[in-house]
Amino acid sequence: MSWAGTYRRVMRLLEPFAGYILKRRIKSGKEDEARTGERKGIASLPRPDGRLVWMHGASVGETSMLLPLIKRLLEEDPTLHILVTSGTMTSAKIMAERLPPRAFHQMAPLDGPNFVARFLSHWKPDLAVWAESEIWPNLVLQTKSSGAKMALINARMSQNSVDRWRKKRAFARQIFSTFDIILPADTLTHNALKFLGGNVISQIGNLKTAAPALEFDAKDSLKLKNAIGHRPVWLAASTHGPEEAQILEAHIAGPGKRADALLIWVPRHPERGGEIAALCAGHDIALRSKGEVPTDATSIYVMDTLGEMGLALDLADVAFIGGSLHDSLMGHNPLEPARAGIPILTGPHIASFTELYATFFNHKAAIRVTSAKKLEKSVLALLKDPAAARQMAGRAKSLAEESAGILDYTIAKLRSLL
What pLDDT score does 275 carry? Answer: 96
In a domain, 211, yes or no: no
Distances (CA, A) of 182 to 37, 152, 342, 369: 31, 5, 32, 34
Pair 184, 125 in one domain: yes
Pair 273, 321 in one domain: yes
Domain that holds residue 235: 218-401
Other Cβ atoms within 10 Å of 328 Cβ, number: 10
Per-residue pLDDT of 265-278, as tens digits, reads: 999 999 999 999 99
Backbone φ and ψ of 88, nearest 5°: -125, 150
**Beta carbons of 319 and 334 less than 8 angstroms apart:** no
Pair 236, 92 in one domain: no
In a domain, 213, yes or no: no
Pair 152, 171 in one domain: yes
Indicate the pLDDT class of residue 133, thresholds 50, 70 and 90: confident
What pLDDT score does 61 carry? Answer: 83
Q: Which of 86-100, 193-207, 245-259, 351-365 shows the lowest mean pLDDT across its residues?
A: 193-207
Pair 261, 316 in one domain: yes
Residues 108, 55: Cα–Cα separation, whole Å: 10
Pair 225, 147 in one domain: no
Pair 36, 160 in one domain: yes
Q: Across the chain, what does the average pLDDT equal?
A: 93
Per-residue pLDDT of 12-51, as tens digits, reads: 999 999 999 999 999 988 899 999 999 999 999 999 999 9
Indicate the pLDDT class of residue 115, thresholds 50, 70 and 90: very high
What pLDDT score does 199 carry? Answer: 85
Backbone φ and ψ of 415, nearest 5°: -65, -30
What pLDDT score does 206 carry? Answer: 80
Indicate the pLDDT class of residue 403, thresholds 50, 70 and 90: low
Alpha-carbon dihedral angle through residues 23, 25, 28, 30, given to the nearest 10 degrees: -130
In a domain, 12, yes or no: yes
Pair 342, 281 in one domain: yes
- Mean pLDDT (whole number) for 414-418: 92
Check which CATH number belongs to the domain holding 297 and give it: 3.40.50.2000
**Beta carbons of 53 and 81 less than 8 angstroms apart:** yes
What pLDDT score does 354 carry? Answer: 87
Pair 238, 145 in one domain: no
What pLDDT score does 404 carry? Answer: 61
Indicate the pLDDT class of residue 355, thresholds 50, 70 and 90: confident
Pair 10, 108 in one domain: yes
Indicate the pLDDT class of residue 208, thresholds 50, 70 and 90: confident
Pair 240, 320 in one domain: yes
Per-residue pLDDT of 296-350, as tens digits, reads: 999 999 999 988 999 999 999 999 999 999 999 999 989 999 999 999 999 999 9
In a domain, 47, yes or no: yes
pLDDT at residue 209 tops 90: no
Say which residue, 1 or 132, is predicted with more confidence. 132
Pair 108, 241 in one domain: no
pLDDT at residue 78 tops 80: yes
The burial class, CB within 10 Å (0-12 / 13-18 / 19+), for 72 is: middle
DSSP 3-state assignment of 107?
Answer: strand
pTM of the predicted model over 0.85: no
In a domain, 280, yes or no: yes
Total H helices, total E strands in the chain: 20, 13
pLDDT at residue 203 tops 80: no
pLDDT at residue 156 tops 70: yes
In a domain, 309, yes or no: yes
Residues 274, 26: Cα–Cα separation, whole Å: 19
In a domain, 212, yes or no: no
- Mean pLDDT (whole number) for 178-191: 92
Based on the structure, what is the number of domains in the chain? 2
Check which CATH number belongs to the domain holding 152 and give it: 3.40.50.11720
Query: Nearest CA to 130 among 71, 69, 75, 47?
Result: 69
In a domain, 23, yes or no: yes
